[in-house]
Structure 1
């Protein structure tokens, strides 16, 4: 999703490069989660990636589940254009704002989203709305941050700024901790947590790529001056972490939630 649709991290070339880093850090855990769903439900006819960005998660979803057809949805036309450059006959990408109903596709066997609900207001309502697009026996699966921990002050400061910026626009960095496990008429199939870790230089590179998008988002807030100053103050310490190869770790606790339609 682009900044215009509530995505705080921006929609430019740096933001898309950041998505490549995010994918490298998070995808091993995501593939395990999706493979487990594949073992439970078999290969779906239709899988949909909610908030697909430049398409890396869409390809992962397609490969991990063995879906016959996989569709990626994102509000960013630029991201969809980039994703569509490398499509095959079984992959498709459509521009769609996930805060709006209905989705442009129905009777879905697997609806999947990674780190997307944190950028949407009322995530529980989004789950409820998306559930209506599942086929009988379909599953809605999400990975969302439930907690974060950083043992380096520059990284902890960045996470604090992101949390405050999201909260200022009615969103939640730790949306995973507050997702409901009951979304009628769906029933819980999986509700677990998994940890993802990155060393300090890797996290700092990823976080530093956030800064232009965070600055633009802070600038849209009526009282965003203090947040903007905090964003701007992050650049030098994050750069130092990278340049000096400083020690430290960031740990994200992800909630893996899979809800199935009877």
Structure 2
């Protein structure tokens, strides 16, 4: 697919923008910050003027991008009014936030040196098309940095129940949690080269896993798609066990395989 050929696609953020969703993103930012920061810093240009953070939520990833990249100007694009209301007051002389639909061309006055996307493509229906669209927004020498779930590895039956519920809900919305394997197979268009295509491992504590999963369940736990996939009894047990994990009473483990993809526009 050539630059600019991606068609905008409707999308829904399955995990919501409620208070519980916001609290989950605080924990998520903490869990993945070190891995994310290393990925960004290792794939930076010597000098970056304009950096863009796509689907920035309440702004955690945007500030991380600003810190790790050193870019002079960093803008976080977000569709949710609730998240923008939280992100806006955290703006600085280098960091600002704008309302935007990231499935459409965003940049009219300039092209970006860095475009960053973390845990966003799993909520969009056309992975390859979105990557192609975002590449078209880069300046020559600009880099697209994508950080997504490749696989969540666990042999724990409670955590597997959670994964089954999330997977079914995303699939109903035309989305895919473990989008990393799709990214691994992407063939970049002419004029683009692959800088990094690798796996990083992140192993959160049981307390953090429990908190992320429980807060997410508060958003979609009563959804009819979930209830058609997982029995009410199993959902009740899942909620109870996630609360116990949050309190440090259960030693349930999972490891996130993260796909880190960096592409550079060379012409």
Is TM more than 0.5 here? Answer: yes
Q: Is the 8 A contact 2:206 2:248 kept in 1?
A: no
The match for 1:136 is 140
SS state at 1:257 partner:
strand
C-alpha separation in 2, matches of 1:245 and 1:142:
35
Partner of residue 16 from structure 1, selected from 16, 22, 30: 22
Q: Is the 8 A contact 2:165 2:226 kept in 1?
A: no
How much does 1:75 deviate?
A: 1.2
Structure 1 consecutive aligned stretches of length 4 or more whose deviation exceeds 4 Å: 228-232
Measured against aligned partners, the alpha-carbon deviations of 1:49-108 in whole angstroms (never above 9, x if no partner) come to 011011111001011010000000111111111111111121110111223x11245400
The match for 2:6 is none
How much does 1:173 deviate?
A: 0.8
Matches within 5 A, 1:1-262: 5-38=11-44, 41-99=45-103, 101-104=104-107, 106-179=110-183, 180-185=185-190, 186-215=192-221, 218-219=223-224, 225-227=227-229, 232-233=235-236, 234-243=238-247, 245-262=249-266
> RMSD over aligned Cα, in angstroms?
1.9
Specify every segment of 5 or more residues in structure 2 that has no aligned partner in the other structure, as ranges.
1-9
Specify every segment of 5 or more residues in structure 1 that has no aligned partner in the other structure, as ranges.
none
Q: Is the 8 A contact 1:152 1:200 kept in 2?
A: no
Normalised to the residue count of structure 1, the TM-score between the two structures is 0.90
C-alpha separation in 2, matches of 1:15 and 1:138:
32
